[in-house]
Amino acid sequence: MQVAEQALIEFEIAVETFRVEVENFSRLHHQKLGPMYTRLDELDALIAEARAARTGDPEDERKAREARAVVMPMPGVDELFHDWMDTDGLSPEAAAMLTEQPVRPPKRVRPSEEARRLYRDLARKAHPDLAQDEVERQRRDEFIARVNAAYGRGDVELLKELVAEWEAGPVQPPAPLSESEELYARLEWLSRRKELLTVLAKELEDGAIGSMLRMAPDDPDQLLEDIAEQLLGEVSRREAELAEMVQ
């Protein structure tokens, strides 16, 4: 039983660390690369408009209108929602507020090695699955939620404070021996929990961001830099194409 519980905890730690990377990558991708995508859309519209002006072809004019429509924001959206919402939906900061995530964007996709070590250590010690009663489970649930939030921000100092807080917490009495019925119920619960985590892990891995992260498992932050470099190259090529058309 103890081996099964520990294996599940390690699996959950792995899923949570990957979830944090997916979330951080998504926010940093929007923050750092969003302006480049916007510039590419604007260049596409300008190129299409220049082509339509040169040819006068109705089909080229239609394509130019469609390209410009992609760039033009919905009138009044930013003002109406006071920057909480834009044409892409909720801003990352607004979404973070509504989901109780840190509003300040993370500095990196993958937290530092020290943050990862502290997080794993805390998760192994304070995991709710180690609780022996509902009161203890609730205490651990609340504590781990704070640990997850600190890890998502890569806040090493706060993680250290949480380590000290946990170590100073109440000493747990030794677990009583389980009855056979309790043992079977516990095994069944562990099985269901593993199935849920397996589904979550697959959803994360199969998602657009998860698929991108699998391309650079060793250094996801470098992946952002590589994408930015590719986009800068695309911007340069589009600008050169536009310059030739308007000469």
**Digit-coded pLDDT (tens) for 58-117:** 999 999 999 999 887 644 434 444 444 444 444 555 455 444 455 556 677 788 889 999
- By CB atoms closer than 10 A (0-12, 13-18, 19+), residue 74 is exposed
* Of 70-74, 155-159, 181-185, the least confident: 70-74
Helices (H) and strands (E) in the chain — how many of each?
Answer: 11, 2
The string of DSSP codes covering 12-44 is HHHHHHHHHHHHHHHHHIIIIIHHHHHHHHHHH
User: Above 50 in pLDDT, residue 174?
Assistant: yes
User: Is there a contact between 103 and 111 (Cβ–Cβ < 8 Å)?
Assistant: no
Q: CA-to-CA distance for 191 and 76, rounded, in angstroms?
A: 51
Average pLDDT over residues 167-182: 66
Q: Which pLDDT belongs to residue 98?
A: 45
* Of 25-34, 98-107, 161-170, the least confident: 98-107
Of the candidates 119, 101, 103, 121, the one whose C-alpha atom is nearest the C-alpha of residue 155 is: 119
Q: Which pLDDT belongs to residue 65?
A: 93
Q: CA-to-CA distance for 28 and 30, rounded, in angstroms?
A: 5
